[in-house]
Amino acid sequence: MVIQLKPCSEKQLPEILEIFNEAILNSTALYDYKIRTIETMNAWYSDKLKGNYPIVGAYDETETLLGFATYGPFRIRTAYKYTVEHSVYIRADKRKNGLGKILFAEIIKLAENQDYQVLIGAIDASNTVSIHLHENKGFVFCGLIKQAGFKFGKWLDLVFYQLILKTPENPVDDV
């Protein structure tokens, strides 16, 4: 399978919506109960554009979106401006083909190019596949919140992993 990486546009929002909704309905990758709508996706996309946050898609030779990666603010306080929280989602029928590794490499490169210092991953503690992927990319465990969520009739523990990047060279305080 030939994979092409390129930015997602509004045209991909229905495919992104499908990937998100599958994860909401069938996994603990998202601590949401209700599926998203195209209206919520339009707002999500607008927020990504306003914040200059990339949405990178992995496409097959027919231009079908197989998965995507993005990041956004970790916290709203100004001092967190060099830290972003990332997400990587793969279509259910395309998982375990190495797409996550490919998208991770790209999102790390983009974060460095935008002078971010830290990438944060918030992962359901039972998601060992995602945890191993993070560890293989150099992320280290940095925290656990027990019973942070409740979904599918059980309490969910949330783990945090971080990757300290090589940038920025000259961080500044906001005054």
In angstroms, the Cα distances linking 142 to 46, 47, 94, 123 are 31, 27, 29, 12
Q: Does the pLDDT value for residue 163 go beyond 90?
A: yes
- Domain contains 50: yes
Name the residue with tokens 């990587």: 88
- Domain contains 175: no
Q: Domain of 10?
A: 4-164
The residue with greater pLDDT, 15 or 172, is 15
The per-residue pLDDT for range 64-98, each reduced to its tens digit, is 999 999 999 999 999 999 999 999 999 999 998 89
- Domain contains 169: no
pTM above 0.85, yes or no: yes
How many folded domains does the chain comprise? 1
- Domain contains 138: yes
Task: Tell me what pLDDT residue 175 has.
Answer: 58
The per-residue pLDDT for range 103-154, each reduced to its tens digit, is 999 999 999 999 999 999 999 999 999 999 999 999 999 999 999 999 999 9
CATH of the domain at 148: 3.40.630.30
The C-alpha atoms of residue 46 and residue 138 are separated, in whole angstroms, by: 31
% of the chain exceeding 90 in pLDDT: 91
Burial class (CB in 10 A: 0-12, 13-18, 19+), 50: exposed
Beta-strand ranges (E) seen in the chain are 4-7, 55-59, 65-73, 83-90, 118-124, 140-151, 154-164
Task: Tell me what pLDDT residue 174 has.
Answer: 76
